[in-house]
Structures are given as C-alpha cells and as structure tokens.
Amino acid sequence: MAKQIHAAPSGPDPIGPYSIAAEAGGLVFLSGQVAINPETNAPMPGGTAEQTRRVMDNIGLILSDLGLSRADIVKTTVYLADIQDFPLFNDIYGEYFDDDPPARTTIQAGALPGGYAVEIEVIAAR
C-alpha cells in the first residue's frame, strides 16, 4: 500500500511545503483548502460566504483532476475562524451535497493562516 502524491493543475498551488493530495489504501487526502483563486493563486476577497464557496469550488476542481467528485468525499474537517459563522457556512456547505453528505467535524480555530475565515480538508474514497 504505497503512498502516492498527486498534483492538481486546476486547483490552487500549495502555499507551503505540503502536497495538495496524497493517496494510500484507496483513500485520497486533500490538504486543507482556503479561499485562493486557482487562476492567480491570490487570496479571494470576501467573508465567510464567499470564502466557503471558493473553497468548495476549489475542492471540486482538485477532485476532478484526480478523477473523483464531491460524491466520493467520505469525511471533511472544517476550521472556522469564528464559530458564530457556522449557520452561514453550514447553509452554503449544504448546497454542495445533494444526498448522503459526508461525515464532518467543524471546529473553531483560534486563527487561520492568512486571516482566512474558513479552511476545509477532505478525505475521499476512490
């Protein structure tokens, strides 16, 4: 069960020494995604609503590059800079899953790198 590292040309570039995606044992692990414009690799402006949409769209792009879709997501971990944003985040997040949403953990992070409002990491099954 060897580890494979994947690039995702449609998604944003990593902003540090990490891989966008790693795969082992039929599971694909996406690093935490923040609201970065994949065309310019620049931070996206806006609050929790805009950032949540950008992050979820980026996750979709990365999964597509790997031959997967949001339907293959089995678990997400969500980090919110402010847990008071949870209802707004939750409504938007829910728009991205038709049926059978993945398991999820949502926590308030003391702060997120770059001042982002939301970061989401994903585990998908191939």
Structure tokens at 89: 């985040």
Tokens of 91: 């409504």
pTM metric for this prediction: 0.95
Give per-residue pLDDT as tens, 73-85: 999 999 999 999 9
Q: Tens digit of pLDDT for each residue in 18-71?
A: 999 999 999 999 999 999 999 999 999 899 999 999 999 999 999 999 999 999
For position 4, what pLDDT does the model report? 96
Residues 92-117 have pLDDT tens digits of 999 999 889 999 999 999 899 899 99
pLDDT for the residue numbered 118: 97
Please, are residues 32 and 25 in contact by the beta-carbon 8 Å criterion? no
Under the banding of pLDDT at 50, 70 and 90, the label for residue 15 is: confident
pLDDT at 110: 86
| Per-residue pLDDT, 99 | 86
Cross-sheet strand order for the sheet of 21-24: 4-6, 21-24, 27-33, 118-125, 73-80, 103-108
